[in-house]
Structure 1
């Protein structure tokens, strides 16, 4: 027998009206801007996009936890959406930054692959097993890669481009290894949100000043 209207699934776009998902999509937009400016080689602007993608990623979870009226389907969909966006913001986008800074040399392709592969493996694992206990990850959370990356680029102008490219390659590979390593790292929440908010504002100001000079 055909399903009744009551049993039919909700439309895809109906989830786009959910406030936490709007926040997640804002993070995706920030990541797309970061990719765009990274390809153009305008790295200060790319870093602004990247750090705001982290801010929105942290914010969507806080909003979701405070909305008691969300349905179970909204909660599950939001978790899936967040995971899909994470691989773009914290996997593909940093890989493109590395490729672009390396002037798309073939030597940088293996590094880009390792970054994305580590991100895919880590998120797949997390989607199945979740946290260890209430507030511990296995491996380094992907957003930490971007938090470190945007700080690293603050010093880019003080280092020669050849040396910085090598340093960038090494650090990003090390972070990718930590993403999938059998180590335990704390989930940063609570008061850390105010820290990431301040961090986002300060770095936006620094990179905005670099763009204006």
Structure 2
């Protein structure tokens, strides 16, 4: 079983899952800024594994199949479970947070199930907003958190993620990222992760 991880892309995917686990630990330990900072590295891993997989020559079909499944589990962890946990934590387990977290998890599972069965559209676009948008949006919200009263910040996060849950299962078409987009996401993730981590250390 573990031999399927001895593949560059699958190794990167596994590292992303490890960062997600670290992020979950930090969220539950009461360090939301550090949690989001760690989650951004899971986002980086998710983008990088696909690039590496596409450039790996003569990749074994079974390894690719394992990688696709592993990637889906990684996506649900950092794209749905983690945001739900952070929303619950910052909202102090309120009723609104329960509604938001249920919406995020349900939408995430539906979105990934649809993608696993039907993939992209004929023009290469995604149907529904991908889960990979969640953590960067959460990071943006945490960047502006010092500018907002605590109660306002909590309500804004819940409202944004309720809208995101709807966007995940909508019929909106989202173009696949190009090289410039991947570069921008990588720079944003590294810079924002460093900024959020510096606030807590």
TM-score, normalization by structure 1: 0.91
Verify the 8 A CA contact 1:28 1:53 in the aligned structure 2: yes
Which residue of the partner structure matches residue 119 of structure 1? 108
Which residue of the partner structure matches residue 6 of structure 2? 17
2: CA distance between counterparts of 1:204 and 1:145?
15
Equivalent residue in structure 1 for 2:43, among 26, 30, 54: 54
Which residue of the partner structure matches residue 200 of structure 2? 211
Which residue of the partner structure matches residue 147 of structure 1? 136
SS at 1:33 equivalent = helix
Q: How does 1:143-182 map to 2 (within 5 A)?
A: 143-182=132-171
More off after superposition, 187-196 vs 160-169: 187-196
Structure 2: which 5+ residue stretches go unaligned?
Answer: none
The Cα of 1:207 is off from its aligned counterpart by 1.1
2: CA distance between counterparts of 1:156 and 1:43?
11
Equivalent residue in structure 2 for 1:78, among 67, 71, 75: 67
The Cα of 1:93 is off from its aligned counterpart by 0.4
Number of equivalent positions: 201
Q: What is the CA RMSD across the aligned residues, in angstroms?
A: 1.1
Which residue of the partner structure matches residue 8 of structure 1? none
Q: How does 1:101-112 map to 2 (within 5 A)?
A: 101-112=90-101
The Cα of 1:134 is off from its aligned counterpart by 4.2
Q: How does 1:127-142 map to 2 (within 5 A)?
A: 127-142=116-131
- Kindly report structure 1 stretches of 4+ aligned residues shifted beyond 4 Å: none
Structure with greater Cα Rg: 1
SS at 1:191 equivalent = helix
More off after superposition, 194-203 vs 119-128: 194-203
2: CA distance between counterparts of 1:196 and 1:148?
11
1: CA distance between counterparts of 2:175 and 2:69?
22
Verify the 8 A CA contact 1:50 1:150 in the aligned structure 2: no
Which residue of the partner structure matches residue 3 of structure 1? none
Structure 1: which 5+ residue stretches go unaligned?
Answer: 1-11
